Amino acid sequence: MKSILSEASRVPFAAQVEEIVASTPIFDVHTHLYAPPFGELLLWGIDDLLVYHYLVAESLRQTDIPYEKFWSLSKTAQADLIWDALFIQHSPISEACRGVLTTLHALGLDVKKRDLPAIRKWFAAQKVENHVAQCMELAGVKKICMTNSPFDDLERPVWEKNPPQDDRFVSALRIDPLLLSWSETAPLLSRWGYDVNAGAASGKAFSEVRRFLGDWSKRMNSRYLMVSLPPDFEFPGRGITAQLIEHAVLPHCREFGLPFALMPGVKRAVNPQLRLAGDGVGLSNLTSLQNLCAQFPENKFMATVLARENQHELCVLARKFRNLHIFGCWWFTNIPSLIQEMTRMRIEMLGTSFTPQHSDARVLDQIVYKWQHTRRIIAQVLVEKYAELGQTGWQTSRAEVERDVKDLFGGAFEKFCRA
Ligand code: HDL
Ligand code: ZN
């Protein structure tokens, strides 16, 4: 059936959709970035871009340097090795390699010169405050959600000194050590003044854990709590992880009106010699997520799942439970082929009631490429979906496209948090 939008009229419409997607400000709901008052915790610049753990894993496939020798190198020497292996000896066509070049190009640097010393010199002349503003401007990111851990020995002291508020950065309270390493974490809590012990948690321990979560949620003004989980996470369960979630985390989240973000599918340290780059992926049993959403309708859940094979079931779960908000193409799924597949499937099943992407950026400059790459793909999918809509005789106004894109870029998530 001939589209009601004649070929001629479609071009302006498609161009409008692309322009709206390219220019709508984004709330980046999950990153590993820090506001400038956190000092060295905020990574930025060419050497941090090059030693990103994605590129460490890729470069160690292209060289035969012993792992321990690599780790003994300085950051600059590691970056030199990665630049040579992945950009000079081989074309930088992987997503993480192309991303570095997208970012450098957007910052106005001439990558065809392949002049790493000159690039280093440019970054050495930048001031962090200006660079934060420049990267957020280029990425079109208006708000960044950090990943904040009271268990991080570098980060905790900064929070204890009550750092100046930077409204561009909001907090998410990360609790992996509490839920996944109770025997090591309970003594820490006890040292910090919470009456718990490393044995099986009891009523008293659960209320003390809630007090800990309350203290840190207030200190950080956290927007949600989050945990990454192994593929075999089970709920309900008799294990300490399930017990702490049921008797401490979920009551705390209900009391504070905060979502709880579950990120299942991580196999930590499948190759420990790669250190941070050594984590892998496994198929998760999403019945656990289903049970949580069904059993705790007063709680709000966020989820992003690591295995491609889990994505369809995650979408169906989101259709069944309006207290579940799915977000992002996380980590190993954050590649164009899967972003396109997942975004198309999610729009086809959920409309605009989800958050298609988060950057997961660890290095400030990465938001430029992660968002530039993703915006292009989301625009392609939306142009196709609005065109298909047009074939029914329905006409979508510019204002409605702007509303829909605002929803996808953080608006739906913020409505979910307020619900
Ligand atoms: O657990 C997480 O939040 C993951 O995003 C890990 O930090 C992972 O190392 C990562 O950076 N993925 O992009
Ligand atoms: Zn992350």
In whole numbers, what is the pLDDT of the chain averaged over residues? Answer: 96
Model confidence, pTM:
0.97
Q: Quick one: average pLDDT of 273-297?
A: 98
- The predicted pLDDT at position 197 comes to 87
pLDDT over threshold 70, residue 179:
yes
Mean pLDDT of 119-126: 98
Q: Mark the residues whose beta carbon lies below 5 A from ion ligand 2.
A: 360
DSSP string, 58-100: HHHHH----HHHHHHS-HHHHHHHHHIIIIISS---SHHHHHH
Q: What pLDDT was estimated at residue 201?
A: 81
- Relative to beta strand 222-229, strand 266-267 is unpaired
Q: Which residues pair with 260 in a beta bridge?
A: 225, 301
Q: How far is the CA of 372 from the centre of ligand 1 (A)?
A: 20
Structural domains in the chain?
7-418 (3.20.20.140)
Compute the distance from residue 302 Cα to the ligand 2 centre, in Å. 14
User: Residue 379 pLDDT > 60, yes or no?
Assistant: yes
Separation CA 255–CA 340 (nearest Å): 37
Average pLDDT (29-52) is 98
Q: Which DSSP category does 161 fall into?
A: T
Give mean pLDDT, residues 1-14: 55
* Cα 302 to chain centroid, rounded: 12
Q: What span, in angstroms and rounded, lies between the C-alpha atoms of 273 and 91?
A: 26
Mean pLDDT of 139-162: 98
| pLDDT recorded at residue 9 | 52
Smallest CA-to-CA distance from 295 within 264, 260, 267, 337 is with 260
pLDDT mean over 394-404 = 97
Distance CA 139, CA 370 (A): 8
Taking residues 266-274, what's their average pLDDT?
A: 98
The answer to whether 263 and 226 are in contact (CB under 8 A) is yes
Kindly indicate the confidence band of residue 80, based on its pLDDT and cuts at 50, 70 and 90.
Answer: very high
* Atom of ligand 1 at shortest range from CA of 276: 9
The Å distance, Cα 14 to ligand 2 centre, comes to: 33
Residue 7 is predicted with a pLDDT of: 46
Q: Which residues line ligand 1 (CB under 6 A)?
A: 32, 228, 276, 331, 360, 362
Residue 1 has pLDDT above 90, yes or no: no
The residue among 52, 135, 62 whose CA lies nearest residue 96 is: 52
The answer to whether residue 5 scores a pLDDT higher than 50 is: no
DSSP state of 286: T
* pLDDT tier for residue 11 given thresholds of 50, 70 and 90: low
The Å distance, Cα 331 to ligand 1 centre, comes to 6
Q: What is the mean pLDDT of residues 290-311?
A: 99
Strand order in the sheet with 141-145: 26-28, 141-145, 169-174, 222-229, 260-264, 301-303, 324-326
In a 3-state reduction of DSSP, which class is residue 262? strand
Q: Which bound ligand lies closest to the C-alpha atom of 176?
A: 1
Distance 117 CA to ligand 2 centre (A): 30
CA of 322 to the centre of ligand 1 (A): 26
Torsional sign, CA 24, 25, 30, 32 = positive
Q: Give residue 131's identity as a one-letter amino acid code.
A: H
Measure the CA–CA gap between 415 and 419, rounded to whole angstroms. Answer: 6
Locate the ligand 1 atom nearest the alpha carbon of residue 266 and give its number: 1
User: In Å, what is the CA distance from 57 to each residue of 52, 276, 400?
Assistant: 9, 9, 43
**12 band by pLDDT with thresholds 50, 70 and 90:** confident
Distance 360 CA to ligand 2 centre (A): 5
Q: Which of 33, 331, 338 to mutate to test the pocket of ligand 1 (most atoms within 8 A of CB)?
A: 331
Q: Which own/partner pairs from 343-350 qualify as long-range (CB within 8 Å, at least 24 positions apart)?
A: 343/377, 343/378, 343/381, 344/381, 344/384, 345/311, 345/312, 345/315, 346/315, 347/381, 347/382, 347/385, 349/315, 349/316, 349/318, 349/319, 350/315, 350/318, 350/319, 350/326
pLDDT of residue 6: 44
Distance of CA 167 to the CA centre of its chain: 19
In this prediction, residues 203-212 reach a mean pLDDT of 97
Confidence check: pLDDT of 316 > 60: yes
Q: Whose CA is nearest to atom 6 of ligand 1?
A: 331
Testing ligand 1's pocket by substitution, the residue of 31, 32, 145, 306 carrying the most ligand atoms inside 8 A of its CB is: 32
β 141-145/169-174 pair status: parallel
d(CA 78, CA 100): 15
Mean pLDDT to the nearest integer, 65-94: 98
Tell me the mean pLDDT in the region 64-90: 98
Q: Which residue's alpha carbon is at the smallest distance from atom 9 of ligand 1?
A: 276
Question: In this model, does residue 295 exceed pLDDT 60?
Answer: yes
pLDDT of residue 10: 55
* Residue 267 in this model has a pLDDT that exceeds 70: yes
Q: Amino acid identity, residue 326?
A: I
